[in-house]
Amino acid sequence: MRLDAAALSRMLLRRQVAEVGFRVAAIAALLVALGSLVALLLDAFIDGAGRLSWQFLTSFPSRHPEEAGILAALVGSVALILLTAVFALPLGVGAALYLEEYEGKTWWARVIEVNIANLAGVPSIVYGLLGLELFVRALRLERSLLAGALTMALLVLPIIIIASREALRTVPNSIREASYALGGTKWQTIWYQVLPMAFPGILTGSILAFSRAIGEAAPLITIGALTYVAFLPDSLLSPFTALPIQIFNWVSRPQPGFHVNAAAAIIVLLVVLLLLNAAAVYLRHRYQRRVQL
């Protein structure tokens, strides 16, 4: 059955119109999202830029908005992310190595892969509930820095595993075969050949996962992180607060001065996130050059 030229032309015209419509809709949605983001950022910068100062960065919270600072929240966020990296990074990379290099494509590996992908899409507050029940109540860690770090480690662990597996898959099989041909064992091949080549991708994915964790407030609120801390944590079991918690606390207060403080804290949090992402780009570029050399 043949189509005449007119019918074929109409079909091609409809397809072109549909493609143009999809592109216009996608561009419009992107512009709306970017416009909203720019408006929110401008509002935060206009409100909080004047509040930024050394005194704001080095002062503890206060009941007086003009005297309040973010020292406890900033130190708590840094300590929280460092502890999260200590717990999540070795475990995530180790799990990725096991699934990709040892388990292969067995049915058990596929079951684990599906569950990890599902865990990566679970809302963060669910991890907060898990941390509350497991670490705060069952293990009796209370509202400590250690409980918060373990909870955030659960949050970023699936992302690190997925990113590490993708990085390991980019290593050519010829590298492994050449190592085996020279008498290297499986572990020697992984440690000296596979991991160095996959390290830039692993590092980038992990830093981006930690960037997400540093901005999460829901899990920390769920496990009971404090909103007013006038001291720095001195041990793993010390109470703590973080920048998202401090921002949430200031936004919920009726005084306009605290809203200005919240906007300034948002700017600091954005700067920290940008620094983490810049570090990911720099380290990836540096290690890629080293591997190529």
Phi, psi of 146 (to 5 degrees): -65, -45
Position 1 scores a pLDDT of 46
Q: 248-273: per-residue pLDDT in tens?
A: 888 888 888 888 999 999 999 988 88
Position 153 scores a pLDDT of 93
The mean-pLDDT minimum among 15-29, 47-61, 126-140 falls in 15-29
Q: Are 268 and 243 spatial neighbours (Cβ–Cβ below 8 Å)?
A: yes
Spatial neighbors of 77 by CB under 8 A, at least 6 apart, are 214, 242, 243, 244, 269, 272
Position 90 scores a pLDDT of 93
**For the chain, what is the radius of gyration of the CA atoms?**
24
Long-range own/partner contacts, residues 59-64 (CB < 8 A, 24 or more apart): 60/229, 60/230, 60/231, 61/228, 61/229, 61/230, 61/246
Alpha carbon 195 to its chain centroid, in Å, reads 22
d(CA 92, CA 104): 17
Q: What is the DSSP string of the chain?
A: ----HHHHHHHHHHHHHHHHHHHHHHHHHHHHHHHHHHHHHHHHHHHHGGG-SHHHHS----SSGGG---HHHHHHHHHHHHHHHHHHHHHHHHHHHIIIIIITT-HHHHHHHHHHHHHHTS-HHHHHHHHIIIIIIIS---SBHHHHHHHHHHHHHHHHHHHHHHHHHTS-HHHHHHHHHTT--HHHHIIIIIHHHHHHHHHHHHHHHHHHHHT--HHHHHHT--S---S---STTSB---HHHHHHHHHTSS-HHHHHHHHHHHHHHHHHHHHHHHHHHHHHHHHHHHHH-
**Mean pLDDT for the chain?**
86
Position 94 scores a pLDDT of 92
Q: Are 265 and 247 spatial neighbours (Cβ–Cβ below 8 Å)?
A: yes
Q: 83-142: per-residue pLDDT in tens?
A: 999 999 999 999 999 988 887 777 888 888 888 888 888 888 899 999 999 999 899 888
- Confidence label for 12 from pLDDT (cuts 50, 70 and 90): confident
Q: 170-223: per-residue pLDDT in tens?
A: 888 888 888 888 888 888 898 888 888 888 888 888 888 888 888 888 888 888
Spatial neighbors of 216 by CB under 8 A, at least 6 apart, are 124, 152, 155, 244
Q: Is the pLDDT of residue 17 over 80?
A: no
End-to-end CA separation in angstroms for the chain: 60
Most confident of 56-65, 78-87, 223-232: 78-87
